[in-house]
Amino acid sequence: MKLHEYQAKGIFADAGIPVPDSQLAESVEEVLDAVDEIGYPAAIKAQVHVGGRGKAGGIKIATDREEAERYAEEILGMDLKGYTVDRVLVESGVDFVDELYVGVTMDRGEGQPVLMVSTEGGVDIEEVAAESPDAIAREHVDPAFGLHPYQARKVVYEAGVDADVALDVASILSTLYDLYEDSDASEIEVNPVMITGDRDVIAADAVMNIDEDALFRQPELSEMAEESYEDDLERKAGEYGFDYVRLSGNVGIIGNGAGLVMTTLDLVDHYGGSPANFLDIGGGAKAERVTNALDMVFSDENVDAVVFNIFGGITRGDEVAKGINEALEQFDEIPKKVVVRLAGTNAEEGMEILNADLVEVEETLEDAVQRAVANAAEVEQ
């Protein structure tokens, strides 16, 4: 579960991490009221779960009321990488002289959380990792013993952070680790941490992702779940109980089991297509569940074609086939071409049940993916 920046900053502030003064606004009038109170310069920041908001026009710095009004009108309602902006964070500007990156995530290769610090803050940390891996200092933490204070200081100094602010940065990093552990987070970061001319250290951004499987023991965070959904599709996925991630491509993907769906995503990319989503309907899926999955994918305007990949174990092929037929029969006209591949339990029965007038059927996953990619390419032409 991804938290919005304003939600994460509220948690950071409660934990003692310095953050700029800010207010959430959902209209131009609320933006103007906020900047009048906060003062200028003020940042107007789109609250959407995408990176690169600034480059995409989703973050503007207003120096007077006229600019604030113009930027609010531009950002509210804008389409930002496929998401509609319905609220902004109005935040006091920070007069900074340096930017850092600090974060905590899970290093699955090592099986331990890892602290990360870089003096190349304010840019995409993935780009830094790819182009200048030595620019990121790392320190692993044994979860059995927790974070020792010296480890936070060590990784900050190894990153080359200026000595006069190093302890303050280490303090923020230690607090982030405590939040990571106490909140069952999967990732938590600040990019950038801004250093002001007066050598104050301020968290100018906030990313906090929570392990959804742990929400049962995080009641306060669980209450934020509905607000954290970015659009109707994510909200639908939550209601239906699907594991769903929206991507930027045009080939919709439905499967049962995370590994099977990931394999399908990889094959779509391999054959020259672009995945539109990750959608796992899980094991034991009945007809109604399959109908809901198709409804979700059809609702995505970016999707031009769909590939349905089911391997029958708990999930029976004939049940899936009934669900596909029932879903498609609700439409006077099928909105997107659907390619189906069934294998495993009752797959042959399922193939016989499938309405060939409504779907295209392929025996192998490779053939199904190639046909779906070709269908999407035809729509683009």
| Inter-residue long-range contacts of 190-193, CB under 8 Å, 24+ positions, other chains counted | 190/12, 190/17, 190/101, 190/102, 190/103, 191/101, 191/102, 191/103, 191/121, 191/122, 191/125, 192/96, 192/99, 192/100, 192/101, 192/121, 192/122, 193/99, 193/100, 193/101, 193/102, 193/121, 193/169
178 labeled binding residue:
no
220 labeled binding residue:
no
329 labeled binding residue:
no
195 labeled binding residue:
no
Q: Which two tokens stand for residue 241?
A: 């109980």
Annotated catalytic residue 83 = no
152 within 8 A of 178, measured Cβ to Cβ: no
Choose the catalytic residue: 5, 189, 319, 362. 189
Q: Half-sphere exposure of residue 48, counting CA atoms within 13 Å on the CB side?
A: 25
175 labeled binding residue:
no
313 labeled binding residue:
yes
Choose the catalytic residue: 6, 71, 101, 244. 101
177 within 8 A of 149, measured Cβ to Cβ: no
On the 0-12 / 13-18 / 19+ scale of CB atoms within 10 A, 130 is: exposed
Name 299's Cβ contacts closer than 8 Å, sequence gap at least 6. Answer: 232, 233, 236
315 labeled binding residue:
yes
53 labeled binding residue:
yes
DSSP, residue by residue, 343-363: EETTHHHHHHHS-TTT-EE-S
Q: What letter represents residue 178's amino acid?
A: D
Report phi then psi at 19, rounded to 5. Answer: -130, 155
337 labeled binding residue:
no
191 labeled binding residue:
yes
Annotated catalytic residue 189 = yes
Instruction: Tell me: cis bond preceding 192? Omega within 30 of 0 counts.
Output: yes
C-alpha to C-alpha distance for 43 and 88, rounded to whole angstroms: 10
C-alpha to C-alpha distance for 16 and 317, rounded to whole angstroms: 54
Report phi then psi at 331, rounded to 5. Answer: -100, 135
User: Which H or E run contains 314?
Assistant: none
91 labeled binding residue:
yes
C-alpha to C-alpha distance for 137 and 160, rounded to whole angstroms: 9
C-alpha to C-alpha distance for 325 and 88, rounded to whole angstroms: 42
What SS3 state is found at 34? Answer: helix
38 labeled binding residue:
no
52 labeled binding residue:
yes
Task: Give the residue numbers of the binding site for Mg(2+).
Answer: 191, 205
Binding-site residue ranges: 45, 52-54, 91, 94, 99, 191, 205, 256, 313-315
Catalytic site residues? 101, 189
Q: Which residues are annotated as a binding site for ATP?
A: 45, 52-54, 91, 94, 99
